[in-house]
Amino acid sequence: MSRPSKESRPSFAERWADISLRAKITGVTVFILFLGLIVAGVGTLSVLRPMLLANQTATLTQIRKDPTTVLAAGANSVNLSREDILYASQQYYVALFDAAGALQYDNTHGQRSSSVPELLSPLTLDSLTQDPTQFIPMTSADRTNWRAVAVPVLVPGQSGGMLLIAVSTAGINQVVAQYVIIFTGFGIAVILLGAALTRLLVTTTFLPLAEVEQTALEIARGDTSKRIMVASPHTEVGHLGESLNVMLDRLDGSLEEQARTIERMRRFIGDASHELRTPLVSVRGYAELYRMGALQETEQVGQAMERIEKEAIRMTSLVEDLLALARLDERRPLVLASLPLNQLARDAALDARAQAPDREVTVVEDDADPIVVGDEHKVRQLLTNLIGNAMRHTPEGSPIEIVVSTPEQAEGETAAARFEIVDHGEGVPEQIRDKIFGRFWRADSSRNRETGGSGLGLAIVQSIVEAHRGTVSVHETPGGGATFRVDLPGTHPDPTTGSTPTVQTAAVRAVGSEAAVGAGGASADSGAAPASGDAAQAGAEGAEGAAPTAPVDPA
């Protein structure tokens, strides 16, 4: 069996990365303790032995000055006797040498064991006289080192002699060995205790982290409602838990918003498909009748062509509405200008009277002549769609008023201008007023274009208003009916000259246009009667006010 190549073996960094954080912290702590104990032990040992040797040196120096401290009791250094040496302290090796260095007698009583030290080099009285403070090294047969001092003495019947007193270093070695054993034992105990306490502390500290891990696992399994319990918000794990909770809240909101968007998209596609299917079925049916020869008479053919043309116009209007919403959703730049709202209202009233001569369309102007800062095509489309909506949902001949006013503004607020489309029909029930601006939402569930429309007109209104950073709302008309109120950013004429501000030619990108609620939301008819072909075309052209960009889904 072949051995794995070096390339296939994981590196140290890879193996280290696979170790758990608890094990890493415990291992590093134990390693640091081990290094600390090694440094402390070696350092202490390096000081302990020289200190013991220094103490021994001081003792020998003191003995050299007064050797009687280790001799037999009552010894006299001036007149030494044999008994003074034979019965000297057994803690030391005491011997008498003659001037030539020959051993005369010592305190071993003739028992020459392996522990008796011997001189490494000859010792004479002359060499001792030359260096009386020297320490003489000695060794025994059991390899124990000794240190000795020699003192010249007077010996009866001889010309002179040397008294040698030696002490073994075995005691020092024994103390050092005992220290090493004791330190090693305590060191091992400290390492084991440190490892256990570190493991316990790390495990206890990481309990919240384990809860974070468990919570994350449950969230990964699909339970997005789970949150992390933060017991200590001022710790690192507490900060992590709070940050994760914030992230999960945002993620949960994003997922909910995504689900709502997908649902709106599905409903939008279903509503748009339903709107387009009916005219397409009609066009196909008349085409098949013509192909099969069922339409023989000229009158029948003309009637079929008329129906095909009307259905085509119906589809064109619907597509233009969808295209206008898509371009508004793209947040294309608006070509802003200062527009006199009274004049726009008068123009819209003239168009409405031309479209419905039986209607009484009046304009209530504001003497302050408010100015709207907006895109002219879009503002005119607002008026057209709202007036068309009023005509569609009120009885024939019912009057309509266009009321221009300047709303009161609190100090510091941006100036605004207001217009209202007031009708006297059945009105809008309060429970659906927040829904009528949705795409394809209609109070009339019928898909008949003549009664219910497609439900895009008021969605376009809301998209345009939001693109201008304005507001649109519907209220009840006193005496019955609906009042659609639109507030747009505006300026006021110079009070000294009465002139209006100059037109702004630069294209300013509108922000805040989240474009008329997401597509496909429970749509109801805005009532937006797609205004007549010219008005709808004007709106579509207005939507193309900027350079074309890649089309996007109107949803």
| DSSP state letter for 438 | S
Q: What is the mean pLDDT of residues 247-273?
A: 75
> What's the CATH code, domain 334-491?
3.30.565.10
Residue 171: which of 308, 59, 274 has the closest Cα?
A: 59
Q: Measured over all CA atoms, what is the biggest interatomic distance in the chain, rounded to whole angstroms? A: 174
Cβ burial, residue 470 (10 Å; 0-12/13-18/19+): buried
Average the pLDDT over each of 168-177, 272-281, 451-460, 533-542 and give the range with the smallest value: 533-542
DSSP 26-40: HHHHHHHHHHHHHHH
* 337/350 Cα distance (integer angstroms): 22
pLDDT of residue 446: 46
Per cent of the chain over pLDDT 90 is: 17
Terminal Cα distance for the chain, rounded? 64
pLDDT of residue 340: 92
Per-residue confidence band for 518, with pLDDT thresholds at 50, 70 and 90: very low
* 271/287 Cα distance (integer angstroms): 25
The sign of the torsion formed by the CA atoms of 48, 50, 51, 57 equals positive
Residue 421: which of 480, 471, 475, 369 has the closest Cα?
A: 475
Whether the CB-CB separation of 348 and 532 falls below 8 Å is answered with no
Residue 409 structure tokens:
């503004």
Per-residue confidence band for 536, with pLDDT thresholds at 50, 70 and 90: very low
Residue 356 structure tokens:
């419905």
* 493/288 Cα distance (integer angstroms): 62
Per residue in 21-51, pLDDT tens?
A: 888 888 899 999 999 999 999 999 999 999 9
Domain ranges of the chain: 12-226, 334-491
Q: Which amino acid, one-letter code, is at 126?
A: D
Per residue in 206-227, pLDDT tens?
A: 777 777 778 878 877 877 777 7
pLDDT(450) > 60: no
Per-residue confidence band for 4, with pLDDT thresholds at 50, 70 and 90: low
Residue 502 vs residue 137, higher pLDDT: 137
Whether the CB-CB separation of 149 and 61 falls below 8 Å is answered with yes
CA geometry: angle 18, 22, 26, nearest 5 deg: 110
Whether the CB-CB separation of 154 and 142 falls below 8 Å is answered with no
SS (H, E, C) 439-461: CCECCCCCCCCCCCCCCCHHHHH
Per cent of the chain over pLDDT 70 is: 78
* 119/454 Cα distance (integer angstroms): 124
pLDDT of residue 87: 86
- Whole-number average pLDDT of the chain: 77
Whether the CB-CB separation of 519 and 265 falls below 8 Å is answered with yes
* 196/190 Cα distance (integer angstroms): 10
Per-residue confidence band for 72, with pLDDT thresholds at 50, 70 and 90: confident
| DSSP state letter for 148 | E
Q: Which amino acid, one-letter code, is at 60?
A: L
Residue 546: which of 323, 333, 326, 378 has the closest Cα?
A: 333
pLDDT of residue 18: 79
Residue 125 vs residue 37, higher pLDDT: 37
pLDDT of residue 156: 65
For residue 174, give the 3-state DSSP assignment: helix
pLDDT(481) > 50: yes
Beta bridge partners of 371: 340, 491
* 163/98 Cα distance (integer angstroms): 9
Whether the CB-CB separation of 538 and 380 falls below 8 Å is answered with yes
Per residue in 321-353, pLDDT tens?
A: 677 666 666 566 778 888 999 999 999 999 888
* 49/55 Cα distance (integer angstroms): 10
* 244/249 Cα distance (integer angstroms): 8
CA geometry: angle 133, 138, 144, nearest 5 deg: 135
Per-residue confidence band for 441, with pLDDT thresholds at 50, 70 and 90: low
Per-residue confidence band for 119, with pLDDT thresholds at 50, 70 and 90: confident
Residue 300 structure tokens:
């029948």
Residue 264: which of 329, 196, 178 has the closest Cα?
A: 329
pLDDT(513) > 50: no
Tell me phi and psi for residue 431, to 5 degrees: -70, -15
The CA–CA distances, whole Å, from 387 to 74, 450, 545, 554 equal 139, 16, 23, 24
* 169/118 Cα distance (integer angstroms): 14
Whether the CB-CB separation of 341 and 404 falls below 8 Å is answered with yes
Angle separating helix axes 457-467 and 376-392, nearest 10 degrees: 150
Beta bridge partners of 164: 95, 150
pLDDT(471) > 60: yes
pLDDT(379) > 50: yes
Per residue in 401-427, pLDDT tens?
A: 999 998 887 776 777 888 999 998 888
pLDDT(512) > 60: no
Residue 284 structure tokens:
């196909």
Q: Which amino acid, one-letter code, is at 346?
A: R
pLDDT(70) > 90: no
pLDDT of residue 444: 55
- How many other CB atoms are there within 10 angstroms of residue 537's CB atom? 14
pLDDT of residue 507: 35
| 433 Cβ contact partners less than 8 Å away, ≥ 6 residues apart | 473, 474
pLDDT(187) > 90: yes
Percent helix / strand / coil, the chain, rounded to 5: 45, 15, 35
Residue 50 vs residue 460, higher pLDDT: 50
pLDDT(432) > 80: no
pLDDT of residue 166: 92
Whether the CB-CB separation of 312 and 531 falls below 8 Å is answered with no
- How many other CB atoms are there within 10 angstroms of residue 243's CB atom? 11
* 415/28 Cα distance (integer angstroms): 67
